[in-house]
Amino acid sequence: MLATVWSCGNGGGEPTPGTDTDNMDRKAMLTNLADNIIIPSYDNFKTRFDVMKAASEAFVATPNQTNLVAFRKAWEEAYIEWQKVELFDIGPGEVHTIRYYFNIYPADVQGIATNVANPASDLELPTSFARQGFPALDYLLHGVAATDAEVVAYYTTAPEAAARRAYIKRITDRMNSLLTMVINEWKGGYRDTFVSKTGLDISSSTSNLVNSYIMHYERYIRSGKFGIPSGAMMNGVVAPEKVEAYYRKDLSLILARTAHQAAADFFNGKNVKTGEAGPSFNTYLTALGAKDSSTGKTLAELINTQFATSKAKMEALQPNLYNEIRTNNQAVKDVYNEMQKAVRMLKVDMASAMSITITYVDNDGD
Amino acid sequence: MQGYLHKTGSAAPLAVFRILFGLLLLASIVRFWSYGWISELYIKPRYFFPFYGFEFVRPLGEYTYLLFAVCGLSALLVALGLFYRVATVTLFLSFTYIELIDKTTYLNHYYFISLMCFMLMFLPAHVYFSADAFRNPKLRADQVPAWCLDAVKLFVGFLYFFAGLAKVNSDWLLLAQPLRIWLPAHNDLPLVGYLLNYTWVAYLFSWFGCLYDLCIPFLLWNRSTRPWAFAAVVVFHGLTALLFPIGMFPYIMIMTALIFFSADFHQRIINSLGRMLRLRGDQLVPRRIYRMHPALNYGLVGMFLVFFAVQLVLPFRHLFYPGELFWTEQGYRFSWRVMLMEKAGHTEFTVRDRSGKKVIVNNSEFLTPLQEKMMATQPDMILQYAHILRDYYAQQGFDQPQVFADSYVSLNGRLGRPLIDPEVDLANEQETFSPKSWITPFDDEIKGF
């Protein structure tokens, strides 16, 4: 009986609110999210990452300007791709806290120097989060000197050149092993575990996913990329030096936009390979009948509208967020404010409609 | 009336109730302890939310374990009927004290237990089949005033009836809220789970739940319907145990419903227990009537009349407040309003002073996640928290700090909206029984009780 009810599928098209029990099937949602978004996104990222790793190896072997430019380009593309997987803070990604080792910024310049001098330094300590990953590479690729020639000299003729090259290798190798581990675990047993935990208790996949998703949107996109550097949070202290990709300032906005788009696409269950929307938070919410009774608009529509508003505010900014914060900060704060509205809809309206408890502790103030 | 007051009935139902109530309460305490909740809820938090008028109830730090030990031991003594009078008093006081520490953990079924303990202090549930009666033949009796048992039944009837009346509202009956939100969460249950996806199932559960609560006391009281009613009790509370995280409550209610069964039924339970304990004939059949001094009898009956009068009025006190009860929650507690709302919120506070100091508060530095969650939707807790912040920041050098709440609350599937007027300085508002003018109007209507 169960199978009959679930198998009379909806052959695409718009789900009917409150009646489409197919879209209330969390197993189908988890399956789509794992197979069509999470795992292929990791694969895509791995491809970009491998290019960057090869470029880094070429540069470390032969530090010249050509290899520097190639490494930078590969770093940029991998960093952009990273924005599409950082949100999967669940399962292996969460267990190995890959986010902490890949993208904690601003980079700790002093700490990087310390680690360069000490090849045995512990990279797993919380204090070393900002000494590795993309932000450390950002500094090592763009921040160590003004001109390309000087950067090359930094890795060739300077007294510590060999140690610096070794550090680049050390941190890219570490990223590689972490990423490989996470991907292997997803493709090993975790995918099935993920798809099978269909409940809504605090250890279930949907509950963990919703929590980690909202936390990512709130803390790592809204706060990290806009709220903290603009001073919209932090009690008004403006800190443009805290932007992501501080040493490649014209990249900051692209990273933020990519992360935001990835979050919106995840909400809509957009298949990474085909671009088609599938079972997702969107369809689940709509099937549950979550809507604004006064206007009849579904909650999913309203959330998508708010995503679009935030996106439009982002698009109004120049790529160099550091400059924008210094000269046009209200526009940056506007992005924060619009994202804050989305946070509330996700955290209160969506979680409540799904009957999910928000369990993560919000550490906005720090 | 005179006749009724002197009427007596079997002591067996009260004795069985005493034993089961004590044991279940002991199990609740053990469960609470073993889950680490004592520390989680009563020791770890930095701040607490006492009830208005009970601010003297303070957390006891590490001694909270002692408090729970006293409570658990008292529950065991009540079950055994050993030092019953003292044990019921310590049980009532320790349990009630625990519940008064922090309104974050308020639950109607804790309130029920507290009041039941209160009643037991005055009821002779220990004169039959108890350690006290075993040790003291003069106490032993198998007949007690009939009103003693009826008082317990009446109280249980109140609970169900008011819980049912509270469900006679448009959200529950016409929108099937909040069950419509809660049921699909369990649609992955084996075999029947898919049914929970259907809106009609939510309506069915809502209407059945409402009728169940309204009718069950009468159906249990009536001899001919009793077996069916009890089956309904088991099914209903079994279902709620399966679907909702409500701990021991379903088991306590199933046990409590036994009080409506006949004296014979309870006598059979006691007889078989007595055989196991190898009790002598006069211990099981003392053939004696427990009589109170007439003045005491009248005094107690008078007290219970006042008790029930208060119980009758309390659920209606919300009529003294303007605005929507579910939204303002003025008069919501202590009224048997159970499982009526899916209410979620997020409330952020800004503290300012005249010199221009300003801070957006990180709630997690002050409250546990549970406290924050409960605070975010309940105006009186928001005010208490605002005062905690006012006092804290005054100590941090803010000059007469002002506290503003930016709230966003969703109720029964409606989209979130501000609960508190963001322009009002909560540092200056006082908790009273008067209506709270700084609660934003609900802008919708939920008709009903």
Rounded to two decimals, the ipTM of the complex is 0.90
CB contact under 8 A, A349 and B342: no
Same domain, B407 and B313: no
**Cβ–Cβ below 8 Å for B408 and A348:** yes
Residues B79, B205 share a domain: yes
From B317, B332, B356, the end of a domain falls on: B317
- A289·B180 Cβ contact <8 A: yes
B425 burial via Cβ count (<10 Å: 0-12, 13-18, 19+): middle
Whether B101 maps to a domain, the answer reads yes
Helix axes B12-34, B64-80, angle to 10 degrees: 150
State the count of interchain CB pairs (< 8 A) between A and B.
Answer: 93
The average confidence (pLDDT) of chain A is 92
Q: Is B366 found in the same domain as B299?
A: no
Does the pLDDT at position A8 exceed 50? no
* Amino acid letter for position B305: L
Considering the domain architecture, whether residues B291 and B347 belong to the same structural domain is answered as no
Residues B240 and B232: their CA atoms lie apart, in Å, by 12
**CB pair distance less than 8 Å for A355 and B181:** yes
What is the distance of C-alpha B181 from the center of its chain?
23
Please state, in angstroms and rounded to a whole number, the distance separating the CA atoms of residues B246 and B416: 26
A20 pLDDT exceeds 80?
Answer: no
Contact between chains at B187 and A347 (C-beta distance less than 8 A): no
Backbone angles phi, psi at B224, to 5 degrees: -75, -30
Please check whether residue B337 lies inside any domain of the structure. Answer: no
B108 has a chain A CB within 8 A of its CB = no
For B28, B38, B70, B87, B98, the CA distances from B33, given in Å and listed in that order, are 8, 6, 13, 20, 13
| Alpha-carbon span B351 to B404, nearest angstrom | 6
Contact A289 B182 (CB under 8 A): no
Look at residue B138 in the predicted model and tell me its pLDDT.
Answer: 92
Cα distances (angstroms) measured from residue A185 to each of A179, A194, B236, B265: 10, 11, 43, 59
A interface with B, Cβ–Cβ below 8 Å: 1-2, 5-6, 18-19, 21, 24-27, 198-200, 233, 235-236, 287-290, 292-293, 299, 302, 344-345, 347-349, 351-355, 357-359, 361-366
- CA torsion sign for B134, B94, B336, B247 is negative
Write the burial class of residue A225 (CB in 10 Å: 0-12 exposed, 13-18 middle, 19+ buried).
buried
From B122, B117, B128, B123, select the one nearest B11 (Cα to Cα): B128
Q: Residue written as tokens 């409960």?
A: B374
B355 and B282 within one domain:
no
- Say yes or no to pLDDT of A294 above 60: yes
Q: Which residue of B has its CA nearest to A17?
A: B199
CA pair distance B371, B242, nearest whole angstrom? 25
Helix (H), strand (E) counts: chain A: 19, 0
Do B226 and B89 share a domain, yes or no? yes
As for how many domains chain B has, the answer is 2
- Whether residue A192 has pLDDT greater than 60: yes
Burial of B429 (0-12, 13-18, 19+ CB in 10 A): middle
Residue B143 host element (H or E): strand B143-145
- pLDDT, residue A364, reads 41
In this complex, which of A293, A355, A363 lies closest to B362 when CB atoms are compared?
Answer: A363
Query: Is residue B410 less than 8 Å (CB to CB) from chain A?
Result: yes
Do residues B350 and B238 share a domain? no
Task: Find the Cα–Cα–Cα–Cα dihedral B103, B106, B111, B117, rounded to 10°.
Answer: -70
Contacts with A1 from chain B: Cβ below 8 Å: 191, 194
Alpha-carbon Rg for chain B, nearest whole angstrom, is 24
* Residue B2 CB neighbour total at 10 angstroms: 6
Eight-state DSSP code of residue B41: I
Task: Work out the minimum CA distance from A80 to partner chain B, whole angstroms.
Answer: 31
Cα distance between residue A148 and residue B19, in whole Å: 84
Distance from the A275 Cα atom to the nearest Cα atom in chain B, whole angstroms: 28
Q: Are A317 and A252 contacting, i.e. CB atoms less than 8 angstroms apart?
A: no
Question: What are the φ/ψ torsions at residue A268 (nearest 5 degrees)?
Answer: -90, 0
Q: B416 to chain A: which residues are within 8 Å by CB?
A: 344-345, 348-349
Evaluate whether residue B62 is within a structural domain: yes
Residue type, B102: D
Q: Give the per-residue pLDDT at A16.
A: 41
Q: How far apart are CA B361 and CA B8, in angstroms?
A: 62
Residue ranges of B 318-377 with Cβ closer than 8 A to chain A: 342-346, 348, 358-365, 369, 373
- B434 within some domain: no
Q: What is the pLDDT of residue A234?
A: 64
Q: At A215, is the pLDDT very low, low, confident or very high (cuts 50, 70, 90)?
A: very high
**A104, A123, B166 from A127: Cα distances, Å:** 11, 8, 55
What pLDDT does A7 receive?
A: 34
A337 is written with which tokens? 């404010």
Expressed as residue numbers, the domain containing B405 is: 342-428
Distance, in Å, from the CA atom of B47 to the CA atom of B385, rounded to the nearest integer, reads: 9
Strands (E), B207-365: 343-352, 358-360
Taking the CA of residue A349 and the nearest CA in chain B, the distance in Å comes to 6
In a domain, B70, yes or no: yes
Contacts of B40 in chain A (CB under 8 A): none
The DSSP secondary structure of A118-132, one letter per residue, reads -TT--SSSGGGGGGS
Write down which residue in B262, B283, B317 finishes a domain: B317
> Which secondary-structure segment (H or E) carries A14?
none
* Residue B85: both structure tokens together: 């009078």
Probe site for chain A from B197, B201, B360 (most A CB atoms < 10 A): B197
CB contact under 8 A, A365 and B360: yes
Contact predicate B185/A4, CB 8 Å: no
Tell me which residue of B13, B44, B14, B32 sits closest to B266, measured CA to CA.
B13
pLDDT tens for each residue of chain B, 449 residues long? 678 988 999 999 999 999 999 999 999 999 999 999 999 999 999 999 999 999 999 999 999 999 999 999 999 999 999 999 999 999 999 999 999 999 999 999 999 999 999 999 999 999 999 999 999 999 999 999 999 999 999 999 999 999 999 999 999 999 999 999 999 999 999 888 999 999 999 999 999 999 999 999 999 999 999 999 999 999 999 999 888 888 889 999 999 999 999 999 999 999 999 999 988 888 888 889 998 899 999 999 999 999 999 999 999 999 999 999 999 999 999 999 999 999 999 999 999 999 988 888 989 999 999 999 999 999 999 999 999 999 999 999 999 999 999 999 999 999 999 999 999 999 999 999 999 999 999 989 999 97
* Residue B404 covered by a domain: yes
B282 and B357 share one domain: no
Answer yes or no: is B438 within a domain. no
Q: Do B385 and B261 share a structural domain?
A: no
The answer to whether residue B61 is domain-embedded is yes
Q: Which residues pair with B359 in a beta bridge?
A: B351
Neighbours of B334 (CB within 10 A): 16
Chain B: closest CA distance from residue A299 (Å): 8
Which residues does chain A have within 8 Å of residue B347's beta carbon, measured at their own beta carbons? none
- Following DSSP, what letter does each residue of B323-368 receive, concatenated? S-HHHH-TT-TTS---S---EEEEEEEEEE-TTS-EEE--GGGTS-
Sign of the CA dihedral with A67 first, then A68, A73, and A78 last: positive
CB contact under 8 A, A348 and B194: no
For residues B383 and B347, state if they share a domain. yes
Q: What single-letter DSSP state applies at residue B360?
A: E
* Tokens found for residue A98: 């890959």
pLDDT at A182: 98
DSSP secondary-structure letter at B195? Answer: G
Q: Nearest CA to B100 among B39, B24, B49, B46?
A: B49
pTM: 0.91
Q: Is there a contact between A359 and B369 if contact means CB atoms under 8 Å apart?
A: yes
Task: Tell me: do B13 and B144 sit in the same domain.
Answer: yes
B363 and B282 in one domain? no
CA atoms within 13 A on the CB side of A75: 28
Kindly determine whether residue B416 and residue A344, on different chains, have CB atoms separated by under 8 Å.
yes
